[in-house]
Chain A
C-alpha cells in the first residue's frame, strides 16, 4: 500500500487516480476486482491441492453409476438398479411435489387466516392471532417433528381397523394410521383416455363460455347464467361418456389385508408431516402478508363499495382483494421461495427429497462431496430463480397500469 502513496507523491497523473472523482471509482473497482480474483483463485487453488492430496478427481461420472439403494416414495420408475442420476431425479420430483402441495395449502390457510384475523368477530380474530404468533415464533423443525410424532404416536395402528377394532375409516374410504394415510385412488381402464380428453375439452368449453358471457355482458348488459352452464358443462359430457364407454374409470379403495392396507394411495407420515408443517408455518406468514395487504387499502374503497350496495363478502372479493393483491404478491413470492427451500428439512422425518438422495445417500456412497453439493446447490438456485421469475411475470401482469 505504501508503494501507491509514494508514487502518488511523485507524480500528479497517478495521484489523480485517488483524488479525482472521475478516476477514483475506477481505482476502487480495479482494487476490488483484484482482491476478489485473488481470493477466488486462492480458494480454487486450495481445492485443487486438497483434491490432489486426497487422490480424487472432479467429474460427474458417478451420476451414471448404479445407485444400489431404495427410495420408498417415487413419482417415476426407480429401483435400486437405477443410476445415481435417476435417484437424484426422483429426489427432485419429491422436492417439487412437497413444495407444490405446500404452497397450495399454505396460500389457502394464509388467506383464510389473514382475512379472519381482521374479522369483527372477537373470538375468531383472537384465535387467528394465536395461530399466527404460535407458528411464527417457534422453529419450523419443531413443528415438523411434532406433527410427525402426532402422526406416528397418536394414530391407530392398521390392525385396529379390523372387525371389532377401535378405529374406523373416514367416510369408509380414508384410513388414518400410524404408518400414514391411505386414500382411494382411481383405476384407469380401457377407453379412459377418451374420457380424459372429453373432460379437458369441457373445461376448455367452460373457459370459452365464460369469455363469451363476459363479452356479451360488456356489450349488451345481459347477464348469462354462468354458474349453471359451467356446472352442466363440467359434469354432463363427462358423465355421458363415462356410461357410453362402459365405466372405464373405477375407484380403488384401500383395503386391510394381512398387517397393512393395500390398494389406494399411501401418503407416508414423512410426507404428511412435512406438508402440514410447511403449510401451517408458511400459512402464518402469508396470513400476516394478507392482513397487511388488506389494511393497506384505503377505507374509502370499502365505503364506496358499500355505497354501491355491495354486501361485505362481495366487497372483499370484488373490490378489496384485487387491489390488495398488488401489495401481497411480492412478499408472497418470497414466502413460496422460503417454503421450497425449507422443504430441505425433510431430512428430519426421512422424506426422500433431493437433499436426501443426491445430497445424502449418493454423497455418502460415492464420496463425491464437492460435485454432489455443487449439483444440489445449483438445483435449489435454479428452482428459486424459476419461481421468482414466474411470479414476477404474474406480478407485473396485475400491477397497477399507469398511463
Chain B
C-alpha cells in the first residue's frame, strides 16, 4: 500500500495550514438566527408572526409611554401639555396621576403625618422575616420575629401599647402553663392546660389589666381607625398577616387530614373541602354580611379583622392540601425510621417528617402565597380601599375623571414586582435546599 502511495502522490504538504474561520453561515449571529429562528418553514412563520405581534404591541405602547407627561394636576392639564408639546393627535400617557396621588395609592387615607409608621413597620418586617428566610442571619433575631406581630399592630393601629402587650402575655402564660402542667402530668394535659389558661387570660383578664395599666402609665401612639387604611399598605397587611397565620394552620389541617383519628380526620376533610369549594369572594361577603349573626348579640368587630380571618382560613385550606401532597410524597421508610428511633408523634413530625414534606411543597406553598396576595384585591367588593378600589375613587374626582390605563399599569406593575419576586425567591430556595446530589 505504501508503495502505491509513494508512486501516485508527487507532493505531500509538510506544514500545517492556519485554522480558518468557519463559513459565515455557520458562526456567530447568522448561525444563531438560522438555528433558533429560521430552522424550518414552521419556525420561520412563527418567528415572523411573533415579530409582527411584538412590532404591533410595542408600536402602540412605546410612543404612549415615551411621550408620557409626569407633572400636571389634572387630566385636562395633561392634555394641554401634550397638545403644546406633541400636537393633539399624539398618543401620550398621563402618569402625572401617579405622581399626584402616589401617597394615596400607597397609604390610602392614613394620616399624612403618620406615614413613618407603616414605613417603619415594613422595614421592621424585613428584619423580622430575615432570620426565617436566610440562614446566615443570627438566630437570636428569631425572638424579634416572634414579637413582631404585636409591634406591627401597635405601630399601625396605634393606641395604647398595653393592649398588644397583654395579648402577647397570654402566649407567655400559656407557655408557663405548658411547662408546669406538662412536667406534672404529661404533654397532653400540658397542652390542654396551656390553651385553657391562655384563653381564660384573653377572655376575662387581659382587657381589664390592660385598662388599668393604660390609665396608670399611658404610653402609646395616636390611634388610627381601620377605615383609614388603604392602598398597597392594606394589601400588604392583609397579605402578610394571612400568609403568616395560614401556614401553621394549614400544616395542622394537613396533619389532621393524614391522621388516623376518625373524628379529627373527617373534621379536617370537611373543613378543607367546604372552604375550597366556595369562592373567596363569597366568603368575604359572608364575613361582611353574616359574621354578626354567628357571634354573641352586640358583638361588632372590625371589618378588616374579619377579612384577615377569612383570608387566613381560605389560604390555610389550600396550604393544607399542598402540605398533604408533600406528606404523601415522603417514602414510608421515613415514618418508620422516626418510629424506630422512639420519637413521639410531635417530635417525629418536627424533626423528620415536616422539614422534608415542607421542602417538597415549597413551590405549592409559594404559589398559594402569591395567589393570596393577589386575592387581597377582592376586598374592594366589601368596601375596603385596596389599590383597585383607590383607582375608582381617584377616577371619581373631577381632576382625574376618565383616566384608566396609567392607574392599571401602576397597580399591575406593583403586584407584578411583588409576586414575581416571591416566585424567584421560591426557586432560589428550591435550589438551596436541594439535597439530591445530582
Contacts of B370 in A (CB 8 A): 136-137
Partner of A377, one of B261, B282, B388, B415: B282
The contact string, 1 if C-beta is below 8 Å from chain A, for chain B 391-424, is: 0000000000000110010011001100110010
Q: Which residues of A contact B261 (CB under 8 A)?
A: 25, 28-29, 32
Within 8 A of B (CB), among A21-53: 24-25, 27-29, 31-33, 36, 43, 46-47, 49-51, 53
Stretch at the interface among A102-110, A233-241, A259-267, A341-349: A341-349
Cross-chain contact B293 with A50 (CB below 8 angstroms) = yes
Is A24's CB under 8 angstroms from B196's CB?
no
How far, in whole Å, are A2 and B296 apart by their CA atoms in the complex? 28
Contact of A139 among B181, B263, B415 (CB under 8 A): B415
Residues A139 and B375 in contact in the complex (CB < 8 Å), given A29-B262, A373-B289: yes
Enumerate chain B residues within 8 angstroms of A373, measured Cβ to Cβ: 282, 285-286, 289-290
Q: A136-B419, A137-B416 are in contact. Are A121 and B43 (CB under 8 A)?
A: yes
User: Known contacts being A139-B375, A142-B412, A153-B404, is A345 close to B281, with CB within 8 Å?
Assistant: yes
Residues of A within 8 Å of B263, CB to CB, are 29, 32-33, 36
Task: Please indicate the chain A residues that have their CB under 8 angstroms from the CB of B377 in the complex.
Answer: 139, 141-142
Q: Which residues of A contact B280 (CB under 8 A)?
A: 341
Taking each of B37, B181, B278, which has the highest tally of chain A beta carbons within 10 Å of its own beta carbon? B278
In the complex, whether B209 has a CB less than 8 A from a CB of chain A is no
Is B81 among interface residues, defined by CB-CB distance under 8 A? no
Could you tell me the distance between the alpha carbons of A363 and B282 in the complex, rounded to whole angstroms? Answer: 13
Residue A390 CB within 8 A of the other chain: no
Do the beta carbons of A141 and B388 come within 8 Å of each other? yes
Closest B residue to A49 by beta carbon equals B297
- Tell me the B194-253 residues at the A interface (CB within 8 Å): 196
B-contacting residues, A340-394, CB 8 Å: 341-342, 344-345, 347-348, 355, 359, 363, 369-370, 373, 376-377, 380-381, 384-385
Docked pose: A121 CA to B42 CA in angstroms: 10
Contacts A121-B47, A138-B415; A380 near B264 (Cβ below 8 A): no
Q: Is the CB of B267 within 8 A of A385?
A: no
Interface string of B272-314 (1 = CB under 8 A from A): 0110111111100110011011111100000000000000000
B429 at the interface (CB under 8 A from A): no
Instruction: Give CA–CA (A385, B378) in the complex, Å.
Output: 24
B381 lies within 8 A of chain A by Cβ: yes
Interface residues on B, range: 35 or more
List the B side residues contacting A119 at CB < 8 Å: 43, 46
Would you call A123 and B47 a contact (CB within 8 A)? yes
- Tell which of B39, B408, B412, B415 touches A120, judged by Cβ atoms closer than 8 Å: B39
**A65 interface residue, CB < 8 Å from B?**
no
Asked whether B146 is an interface residue with its Cβ less than 8 Å from the other chain, the reply is no
Q: Flag if A342 contacts B279 (CB, 8 Å).
A: yes
The answer to whether B189 touches A377 (Cβ under 8 A) is no
Contact residues in B for A136 (Cβ distance below 8 Å): 370, 419, 423
Interface string of A221-259 (1 = CB under 8 A from B): 000000000000000000000000000000000000000
Q: Mark A88-109, 1 if CB is under 8 A from B, else 0.
A: 0000000000000000000000
CA distance A46 to B262 in the complex (A): 28
Count A/B pairs, Cβ under 8 Å.
166
Nearest CB of chain A from residue B89's CB, rounded to whole Å: 14
| A363 neighbours in B (Cβ, 8 Å) | 289
B193 to chain A: which residues have CB within 8 Å?
Answer: 1-2
Known: A32-B263, A123-B37, A138-B415. A19 touches B420 (CB 8 A): no
Contact B192 A18 (CB under 8 A): no
B90 at the interface (CB under 8 A from A): no
Tell me whether B2 is interfacial, beta carbon within 8 Å.
no
* A336 vs B405: C-alpha distance when bound (angstroms): 29
A47 touches B278 (CB 8 A): no
The docked-state distance in angstroms from the alpha carbon of A121 to that of B408 is 32
A32 & B281 in contact (Cβ 8 Å cutoff): no
Q: A50-B292, A137-B420, A373-B290 are in contact. Are A149 and B282 (CB under 8 A)?
A: no
Q: Does residue B184 face the partner (Cβ distance < 8 Å to A)?
A: yes
- Say whether A71 faces chain B, with CB atoms less than 8 Å apart: no
Q: Is B47 within 8 A of A124, CB to CB?
A: yes
Contact: B279 with A341, CB < 8 Å?
yes
Q: A136-B370, A139-B415 are in contact. List 10 more A-B contacts (CB 8 A).
A: A27-B188, A43-B294, A49-B296, A120-B39, A136-B423, A142-B412, A348-B381, A376-B282, A377-B286, A381-B277
25 A-B residue pairings within 8 Å (CB atoms): A1-B196, A18-B186, A25-B261, A32-B261, A32-B263, A43-B294, A46-B293, A46-B295, A53-B297, A123-B50, A123-B51, A136-B419, A138-B412, A138-B416, A138-B419, A141-B380, A142-B415, A145-B388, A344-B282, A345-B281, A359-B285, A373-B282, A380-B277, A385-B273, A385-B277
Partner-A contacts on B (CB < 8 A): 35-37, 39, 43, 46-47, 50-51, 53-54, 181, 184-186, 188-189, 192-193, 196, 260-264, 267, 273-274, 276-282, 285-286, 289-290, 292-297, 370, 374-375, 377-378, 380-381, 388, 404-405, 408, 411-412, 415-416, 419-420, 423
